[in-house]
A and B are shown apart, each in its own frame.
Chain A
């Protein structure tokens, strides 16, 4: 037997002390009041007679003493948290690392009523208890090292109670320097490459499930629709099931129907999403044989559900009015410079993008802005340079002969564009993305956490911009780049992020992102490493990220057939896999000892009630 709360010798000492104390208190109890009587002759006769009449009265005091000592022992045992020394434990381990698989599939239920996660936690508890005295570390595949290295089992216990499944990458693997034994408790739903010395404890048990395996909104061919929602539902069960499907858009239910799913069938549906309405889409399913709840709900963000709002500020902006009139995804408003007031920050119903035509405000806008030939005297565009520099950087008839690769100029044909005059701006925040053959910038971009700008250094009066084929491309690129900043820092090989699919777990954001808000408007803490901000998105839902003066929303879903299929497992190499028995997630021993102590207390109370003498 091992003891979780203290060393074995301390625990045994405590047990012996508790028993002795209880026995002592049993005999040294509070004395009742004295009463002088002429003789106790009759009392002795009465009591002796009663004792002789019943066996119970003869043994009651001894029973009461035994019960008192047992109560003390049970309470002491509950306090020292005993455990069984089991095979596979790390009793002789110097530094033990137990890794819990935090995949969402671990939330699946089992036939015993417990979840795979409960079973895994019980197995981890058993391993730690068996290794009492060694340095112990708890880790999960979602959060890495959670607690330790420590010899304090109480800390590990607290961490175990705190931990929950949270996804995590298949490649993510916590490492502990100097670990002499590594145990991995998993259901094998997520295939992993494991080191050969890792001992795998499998909590896998096949379970039927129904889950949403895909939900994505794609551009629609119909101009009346904001997009088409692609939905995929899998029945990972060996029996046909009726699946209830409900789709809501914002708070409005748009679909509620029952689907018949054959065994192992994937149901696919494409739903057109009309323009207008709430951009958030929620899909929920219900089915009778469904052991995993996490994949029963999926979310989508319909970005084109509402048109972009563009504010055009300038004196002669007819050329832009004609450009935006034909775009259903943009709603433009026009304003004379005299009526412009610099907004302090982006308002909820304010414009997404501001376009300044041959004019610039005295203060840099907090909202993403596209500027066409701003006056060279604009202070915030020429800051950091001598006053005469702007004029000196002007170039007549510049040639744009190298196509750009930046998203703003990507696809713009430079050869059909004729520019009479372009001027350079000296602000160090500006980065040229298109230049003339002599190096004069033709298009600048500026990207910071609080500001995004696109500056075109020539005006329509000084070029054939409105007639050039590249004009709508340049305008569309610029507005799209300004309104939809790249919020995610996609890594090479990160196909999900590149496809716009986001899953719960550690997510990398672009460095310009300043704030991430989760479901329920809860702000997600950001951790910055170099030019990347990391946030732990713990559960599916609609999230928003803010940066560069813009705000973008995105959906986080499980939506993974590998995860929803609870009948498969690939726990690890044979010979290194130990199966965790069902029921392992039962309450730890101390709970039983506490219950026993209570029951003994009741029994002692009963003997006290049944006493004649004490």
Chain B
């Protein structure tokens, strides 16, 4: 399936930018303000001149008024390191889910590229896959599309192992976006905690589908786990189906509560929902993009 967006949607995306709760400074100049003082466009403050300072930054008007040499200080604008961690395990293989996850990743990439952020796409499953950094500038979006279209879902999910592997390499702190269904038998909390402990600003995009939320069948069924091949024979009665739906809602609520408790952004993206609706409304409501 083609992930390409039409021009109209791309225009809409250009007006958005990814919001990080914290300010992270990248290595390159960009249009994202940082806490650093440097060569920016926005005036930040004055400080007394000391020997060796660049006298070009001396505020002569202030000297005339106050009689002291003061230097003008500006906020430095740098890029934001954004890590897009995309779940490519077998549980994401359902076309609707996987397409939704890749399109979200593509949209975030485009927003980041427009704002010259430093993007890194990291597919993960049992561990981290081959990561990709498309570079800077919105023209790179087509490389992103090609890269995402080549991805295939397979293998089990291990969030903890994947994020541990992510943490093992020295990286700039930044915004880490996890796009996953979080159906990890080992649990999701340990993996997210690792990212939080590193100091990243973590954002969770919870991909769900109708097949996840509902039993899908009544009567005697042998459910086969797509990732592990494990079998469970279940007589799906109306009572049991109701219990399943409640359990799944509890699972989703647990993830959301966990995110809230650890200051992790959370947005749920149902695969059946229109993609533009998810990006333009849900992400805004979740204060992920502005």
A251 at interface by CB-CB < 8 Å: no
B211 at interface by CB-CB < 8 Å: yes
| Residue of B with least CB distance to A611 | B235
Chain B interface size band reads 35 or more
B67 at interface by CB-CB < 8 Å: no
Question: Do A40 and B230 touch (CB < 8 A)?
Answer: yes
Question: Do B222 and A33 touch (CB < 8 A)?
Answer: yes
Chain A positions 37-89 with a Cβ under 8 Å from a chain B Cβ: 37-47, 49-50
A33 to B90, CA, bound (A): 21
Instruction: Indicate the member of A32, A45, A611, A612 with the most B CB atoms within 10 Å.
Output: A32
Given contacts A45-B251, A49-B247, A613-B235, contact A38 B216 (CB under 8 A): no
Question: Do A33 and B221 touch (CB < 8 A)?
Answer: yes
| Residue of A with least CB distance to B92 | A38
Given contacts A32-B220, A32-B221, contact A38 B235 (CB under 8 A): no
Question: Do A36 and B247 touch (CB < 8 A)?
Answer: no
A438 at interface by CB-CB < 8 Å: no
Question: Do A40 and B232 touch (CB < 8 A)?
Answer: yes
A491 to B184, CA, bound (A): 104
Q: Mark B134-175, 1 if CB is under 8 A from A, else 0.
A: 000000000000000000000000000000000000000000
- Shortest B62–chain A CB gap in Å is 64
B52 at interface by CB-CB < 8 Å: no
Main secondary structure of the interface of A (DSSP, over half): mixed
Question: Do B225 and A37 touch (CB < 8 A)?
Answer: yes
Contacts of A43 in B (CB 8 A): 223, 232, 234, 244
Question: Do B212 and A35 touch (CB < 8 A)?
Answer: no
Interface residue from A32, A37, A45, A49 paired with B233 (Cβ < 8 Å): A32
Question: Do A42 and B181 touch (CB < 8 A)?
Answer: no
Contacts of B237 in A (CB 8 A): 612
Question: Do B224 and A612 touch (CB < 8 A)?
Answer: no
Question: Do B247 and A35 touch (CB < 8 A)?
Answer: no
Contacts of A37 in B (CB 8 A): 211, 216, 223-226
Contacts of B224 in A (CB 8 A): 34-37, 40
B253 at interface by CB-CB < 8 Å: no
Question: Do B220 and A38 touch (CB < 8 A)?
Answer: no
| Residue of A with least CB distance to B209 | A38
Question: Do B225 and A34 touch (CB < 8 A)?
Answer: no
Question: Do B222 and A38 touch (CB < 8 A)?
Answer: no
| Residue of B with least CB distance to A50 | B243
Contacts of B93 in A (CB 8 A): 38
Contacts of B219 in A (CB 8 A): 32
A530 at interface by CB-CB < 8 Å: no
| Residue of A with least CB distance to B217 | A35
A42 to B209, CA, bound (A): 14
Given contacts A38-B94, A38-B212, A40-B230, contact A614 B240 (CB under 8 A): no
Count A interface residues, CB 8 Å: 23
Contacts of A41 in B (CB 8 A): 183-185, 251
A37 to B226, CA, bound (A): 6
Given contacts A43-B232, A47-B232, A613-B234, contact A38 B244 (CB under 8 A): no
A432 to B172, CA, bound (A): 148
A100 to B219, CA, bound (A): 59
Question: Do A46 and B222 touch (CB < 8 A)?
Answer: no
Q: Mark A115-148, 1 if CB is under 8 A from B, else 0.
A: 0000000000000000000000000000000000
- Shortest A371–chain B CB gap in Å is 95
Question: Do B223 and A35 touch (CB < 8 A)?
Answer: yes
B59 at interface by CB-CB < 8 Å: no
B275 at interface by CB-CB < 8 Å: no
Question: Do A39 and B232 touch (CB < 8 A)?
Answer: no
- Shortest B249–chain A CB gap in Å is 10
Contacts of B225 in A (CB 8 A): 37, 39-40
A31 at interface by CB-CB < 8 Å: yes
Instruction: Indicate the member of A41, A46, A47, A612 with the most B CB atoms within 10 Å.
Output: A41
* 29 A-B pairs (CB sep. < 8 Å): A32-B222, A33-B220, A34-B222, A35-B216, A35-B221, A35-B222, A36-B224, A37-B211, A37-B225, A38-B94, A38-B227, A39-B183, A39-B212, A39-B225, A39-B227, A40-B223, A40-B224, A40-B230, A41-B183, A41-B184, A41-B185, A42-B248, A42-B251, A45-B251, A46-B240, A46-B244, A47-B234, A612-B237, A614-B220
Q: Which 10 A-B pairs have the closest CB atoms?
A: A39-B183, A38-B91, A32-B220, A40-B225, A46-B247, A34-B222, A40-B232, A39-B91, A42-B248, A35-B221
With A36-B226, A41-B184 given, name 11 new contacts (CB 8 A): A34-B221, A34-B222, A35-B221, A38-B181, A38-B183, A39-B212, A43-B223, A43-B232, A43-B234, A613-B234, A613-B235
